[in-house]
A and B are shown apart, each in its own frame.
Chain A
Amino acid sequence: MKSRILINISHRNYGFILILTIKLYICHQKIKNTMLKMILSGFLIFCLGLCLAQEVPNVSITTLNGEKLNVSKIDSSTPVVMSFWATWCLPCMEELTTINEKYEDWQKESKFTIYAVSTDDSRTTSKVKTVVKSKGWPYTILLDPNQTLKRALNINSIPHVILVHKGKIVYSHVGYSAGDEDELIKKIKECNSIH
């Protein structure tokens, strides 16, 4: 059954037909298993999500200087990267450090801005500024200590990167392993080429 769904996912525009198919399928199969139901509804929603790009939520958080910033007002006429991180999250630090090393080269090739959204809560939020400075990161830092933006974007875990272009979230990526940054710059370039 899974394979059947997966095949259909590639035809994004047929999402609606797909759902009807699955609905009929389920009606015939009388599935009693809760878990299977869960997985199925998960896949359904997954398919739906592919249909449309999400917008940036209407939420305000603060910059390192204490100024408020409504993220839906960020100018994304050129691609905007938002990386959700925390000082205690090793893969996040890894990712932002790696991007920093490539930042100059990337800037030469493409136009984009990076916001690093710290989800550090009050246990570590006072460390953010010091860490950023000592690492010499060029990113604009946003503070999201009670996960207001993270929750509004429905982000479950960090590291999590989203790419915003013209007000829409065009790419998102959860987790970080070495090399993921290449995918990110590829997507940035794609945005710029549409532009």
Chain B
Amino acid sequence: MRHKSISIVLLFFSIKSFCQLSVNLESNSQYYIDDNKIKLSENEADQRFRSNNYLNVNYKLKNFTVGAQLESYEPKALLNYSPALTKTNLGTYFVNYNNEKAGIDITLGHFYEQFGSGLALRVWEDKQLGISNSLLGGKIKYTDPDQIVTLKALLGKQRFGFNLSDGVVGGLDAEMRLDSLMKVKDFRSSIGFSYVNKYEDNKENSLYPKNVNIYSSRLKMEYSKFALEFEYLYKTKDNIKQVSTLDPNNIFSGNAYLLNLSYATDRFGIIASLRRLENFNFYSQRDQIGNIYHNSVLNYVPALTKQYDYSLANIYVYQAQPRLAFLPQKKSGEIGSQFDIFYKIKKGTPLGGKYGTDLSLNISNWYGLKGTYRAYINNIRDYKTDFLALGEKYYSDQSLDIRTRLKDNWKIALVLINQFYNTYRTEETSGEVKAQTVVLDNIYRFSKSSVKLELQHQWAEGYHGNWAAGLLEYNFNKNWSFFINDLYNYGNPDKEKQMHYYTGGLVFRKNSTRIQASYGRQRGGLLCVGGVCRFVPESAGFSLGISTSY
């Protein structure tokens, strides 16, 4: 094995001398320890050292690109990654031919793709979330020379750990730009249509649909400072789950509406996003519906709320609720809105100060669908929803972000957040939380080094109670920095849980290499990237992250 890997590396080297090779390595390791408060659960304690490693190699020769990703989860994957990710194996591989002149782009092997906003189809990778949902098969993309029409066709099976999901996925997408046909000044418009099909055997129950299709249409318009995007999608009858097993007697169709409106001018912008989802999750293998590891997910349903960069603002994170379920709870989707307003106060004005001030306001409100649910004899179920009525409130937040410079070398930000989180509905446990958070963020620059100091406090009724947090980051020079971070849950109603989650670490950065070593405690909860979350349990220990590419 060792000799083999060295030889491969040598081979890379010789190839690289002649052509275009790019290599990327990412490694995240953790050694879990037990301290006086946090212990590794018994069924996990057999392996205290765990490591996720990815080696990605791409090789380009003229119009061809060949690539592969080797993945290693040895001796075991980090806590709460999908159990499908074990040992070392080839994760993805592909050959791509891209001829710009002819407008043809063909991929064989594993590929990633997105149709429209991704509600119909999005296969992508996120190592932090353990998502690697590429399709294995073929994809062809054609763009005409005037770039008016783009057509995509694909067929494949979805990656599931190092294996494949049961379903076969096919998809077509067409997008057409209308501006050249209309020739109106400052006006741009395009329309698009997608069709995605999943075929899966139904030997276990003939009621289960063999084919599940999503049809979607979308429209984009931009005129001067205004923009509009609309997408409508329909999903044919699909399985649902009751608690954790497939409902043997009922299948339902689903639909989704998405509307974005925006206005942007110098120093001011406003965006409204409205979305309604009804039974709109989509999986390439029916028994994976609703699984917590994002296995076999075919579409992308992010929460349309603000993504915060501050730790306390990420305790109560909303996740989109597209599922239809009768058990354990009756719910069928979500409806809601998000508004963003950006405003830059000019420099030299009383409010803008010497350097100008950036303001951003975000307001989001998400509700369940209002409807009635019925169960008949033999567990035949049905439900009815009102189209634009708001049901029970699931989540809301308002946040104001103020950023300015106090001095030439001192930047400051004040963030105020007010959140409402319906724990009963979103986590299917009980209760609700109202939380207010204040963040004061400072960046101070010296001649060679810089300091970041972040102070946070959260007042919360229910669940975890009050928190205080602080982060200090010192960048010695352009390569080295260290940080200490502490989250203190001093207001937890359970005295045992009133504890510090502290972390300290060292970071080295040079060119595209980043190495981070840290020691501390990780708060349990949702780890979210781009509105998709993964649950991570509380843990303590050493961690080492290496990421490098060329």
Question: A residues engaging B (CB < 8 A)?
Answer: 15-16, 19, 23, 26, 31, 34-35, 37-39, 41-42, 44-46, 48-52, 54-55, 57-60, 65-68, 70, 73, 88-90, 94, 121-127, 129-131, 133-136, 145-148, 151-157, 160, 162, 171-175, 177-180, 183
Contact = CB atoms under 8 A, between A and B. Distances in A.
B481 A127 contact: no
A48 B445 contact: no
Contacts, number: 234
Interface string B260-285: 10111111111101000000000000
Contact of B6 (A26, A66, A134): A26
The 4 residue pairs across chains A and B that have the minimum distance between CB atoms: A49-B550, A154-B24, A130-B269, A123-B302
Nearest to A23: B6
A180 B478 contact: yes
Contact of B125 (A122, A131, A151): A151
A51 B16 contact: yes
Contacts of B309: 88-90
7 contacts: A41-B5, A42-B27, A42-B546, A54-B550, A153-B549, A173-B509, A180-B478
B434 interface: no
A85 to B, nearest CB: 13
Interface string B11-42: 01100110010111111010000000000000
A131 B342 contact: yes
Nearest to B143: A68
A15 B17 CA distance: 12
B22 A129 contact: no
Given A34-B51, A49-B549, A129-B269, 17 more contacts: A26-B6, A41-B5, A49-B550, A66-B220, A73-B100, A94-B443, A121-B122, A121-B124, A123-B302, A127-B271, A133-B266, A146-B122, A147-B112, A154-B23, A162-B512, A178-B443, A178-B445
Contacts of A46: 25, 513, 548
Contact of A146 (B113, B262, B478): B113
Interface in B29-65: 29, 49, 51, 53, 55-56, 58, 60, 63, 65
Contact of B20 (A35, A55, A88, A134): A55
A177 B481 contact: yes
Contacts of A152: 58, 65
Contact of B307 (A19, A88, A122): A88
Contacts of A134: 264-269, 342-344
B267 to A, nearest CB: 6
A133 B269 contact: yes
A35 B13 contact: no
B227 interface: yes
DSSP majority for the B interface? Answer: strand
Nearest to A135: B344
A156 B24 contact: yes
B512 A172 contact: yes
A146 B114 contact: yes
Given A89-B309, A122-B300, A178-B475, A59 B98 contact: yes
B431 interface: no
A65 B188 contact: yes
A126 B262 contact: yes
Interface string B174-204: 0001000000000010100000000000000
Nearest to A30: B2
Contacts of B266: 133-134, 136
B133 to A, nearest CB: 11
Contacts of A126: 227, 229, 260, 262, 271, 273
Contact of B100 (A70, A123, A146, A162): A70
B267 A136 contact: yes
B51 A122 contact: no
B213 to A, nearest CB: 21
A6 to B, nearest CB: 12
A69 to B, nearest CB: 10
A121 B273 contact: no
Contacts of A179: 445, 448-450, 475, 478
A90 B9 CA distance: 37
B530 A123 contact: yes
A26 to B, nearest CB: 6
A68 B175 CA distance: 13
A160 to B, nearest CB: 7
B514 interface: yes
B271 A45 contact: no
Nearest to B29: A35
Contacts of B122: 121-122, 146
Contacts of B452: 177
B418 interface: no
B13 A15 contact: yes
B331 to A, nearest CB: 22
Interface string B308-321: 01000000000000
B233 interface: no
B147 interface: yes
A19 B147 contact: no
A37 B264 contact: no
A19 B10 contact: yes
B229 to A, nearest CB: 6
B445 A174 contact: no
B303 interface: yes
Contacts of B302: 121-123
Contact of B112 (A48, A122, A151): A151
Contacts of A50: 550
B100 A34 contact: no
Given A35-B29, A123-B304, A179-B450, A68 B147 contact: yes
B118 A55 contact: no
Contacts of A16: 13
B511 A122 contact: no
A26 B478 contact: no
Contact of A127 (B5, B340, B478): B340
B166 to A, nearest CB: 24
Contacts of B411: 94, 178
Nearest to B62: A58
A38 B509 contact: no
Contact of B511 (A123, A129, A172): A172
A66 B20 CA distance: 29
